[in-house]
A and B are shown apart, each in its own frame.
Chain A
């Protein structure tokens, strides 16, 4: 596993450090990387909110069909990414039955990423919320806290590490996503081409050094996210009783 990944790092340096820098700062590569990180950031922020809310509803509310909803959350994990891309295109593409056409647009890329990263925050927060001591909330209420104060001062600080860990996983997934994006984005350079699609194109055109250089940027970001997840886990467990 490490051998192939180090090969990527080594090949990215074929042209020395300056060659690496040239490859990642070329206009198309830069545009792809900027787009990738920006959209990923937005998408992950939206799903952090939505995911926390969904986790809350699944843990705290009782309603019919809850089991089904709980299972459906994992659909983006189970559904092959290319199928996800095709389905999104069917719904929000040129022949959209709801008359929303986001194909070949950045919004389309964002839709695809929203889809594939939805479960991460939900699945990170859900177990922590389940384990949360409800008496803590009652104690805060009996001390005069309002519903909003209970959430902000008691619940949120306790689930924040889980949210952050979910965000890190979702972000790592979003920056590297390929299958779900490739159809709906149209892969227009400078407009909808994300980093993974850029890498794929460079491999096809046999410009391996450029592909490896951009890959290294993604790899470093991935490693940082893994480190963040580890840190979040330690931080979350620091006051366990």
Chain B
């Protein structure tokens, strides 16, 4: 189902958490709400789920205005940051909870739970309690629990935030594949730009309760709509008055038109890539990233004078 959020505002006391936000996601899409902590992204997610009531604005899900529908009737699957497992219930009872509330017959609950546990790779864990699961397993259980009631939309609050780095990487790819399988309209909240780019089809960048930009991962990376987005979604360096990604710089040892002269302060080898820390005659720092092969061909060393030129500008800084 599609989701349309129109002019939604939410305050907590004096703090404006969401400040007039409007955006839409189409049916079956996978969207990331990306922003720093305190940007209002989690509140926005809770507003869509009905766990918070907006001060103003509308929330439309699947063409129907749901602004005044209580959370329990919204048919929204929600996965909490710390998964909120029902710790006094087994995995089976956790996953079957929404179905029991809907008075689905026992044997059908059993079958559906088995199906979901297979989907999230937790077959054989049905009789365990959440305390006997690892973080990643709890997360997958929470996902199965949310999917059990066949929600119209799936909302995930920092789904990978509480996991360690390796598990995180695995789950990202897995969530992406799961979405291709289940095809439910999904929005997830994250503060990690790499995560947003890797998983989402569409990214909504938020800051201080407002939307900064909506676009594909490539859009927000290559054509950021604001200084904030530019800096938040990736590294930025400045050459003269132009802002550029460090890997979009040509580095050569001979002068060229439009190139800026700089001295190498440090060469940092990062495996496939080499990072150059440069400084211009005016004492301004420039950071450039080139491939190992390019660095070897140029025979770069500390103290050497090089000429750098942007091959792809981000945006002229006003």
A–B direct contact (CB < 8 Å)? yes
Contact residues of A with B, CB < 8 Å?
133, 135-136, 138-146, 149, 153-154, 157-158, 239-241
Q: In the complex, are the beta carbons of B49 and A149 less than 8 A apart?
A: no
A-binding residues in B (CB < 8 A): 49-51, 70-78, 80-82, 84-88, 97-98, 101-102, 129-131, 142, 145-146, 148-149
Whether the pair A145, B80 counts as a contact (CB closer than 8 A) is no
Q: Is the CB of A154 within 8 A of B101?
A: no
CB atoms of A138 and B98 under 8 A apart? no
A110 to B81, CA, bound (A): 48
Contacts A136-B86, A239-B130: A142 and B74 contacting too (C-beta < 8 A)?
Answer: yes
**CB contact under 8 A between A142 and B131, given known A240-B87, A241-B85:** no
Chief secondary structure at chain A's binding surface: helix
Residues in chain A near residue B81, CB distance under 8 A? 135
- Whether A239 and B131, one on each chain, are in contact in the complex, defined by CB atoms closer than 8 angstroms, is yes
- Give the chain A neighbours of B78 by CB distance below 8 A: 138-139, 142
Given A135-B84, A136-B86, A138-B84: A241 and B130 interface contact (C-beta under 8 Å): yes
Contacting A239 at CB < 8 Å: which of B87, B145, B148? B87
The answer on a CB contact under 8 Å between B88 and A158 is: yes
Decide: B49 and A142 in contact? CB cutoff 8 A: yes
Complex formed: what's the CA distance from A139 to B101 in Å? 13
How long is the Cα–Cα vector from A56 to B78 in the complex, in angstroms?
26
Given A142-B51, A143-B148, A239-B129, 12 further pairs, Cβ under 8 A: A133-B82, A135-B80, A135-B81, A138-B71, A138-B80, A139-B86, A142-B71, A143-B145, A145-B72, A146-B72, A239-B87, A241-B131
Q: List 5 A-B pairs, minimum CB-CB distance, nearest first.
A: A135-B84, A143-B98, A142-B78, A139-B84, A135-B80
Residues of B contacting A145 in the complex (Cβ-Cβ under 8 angstroms): 72, 97, 101
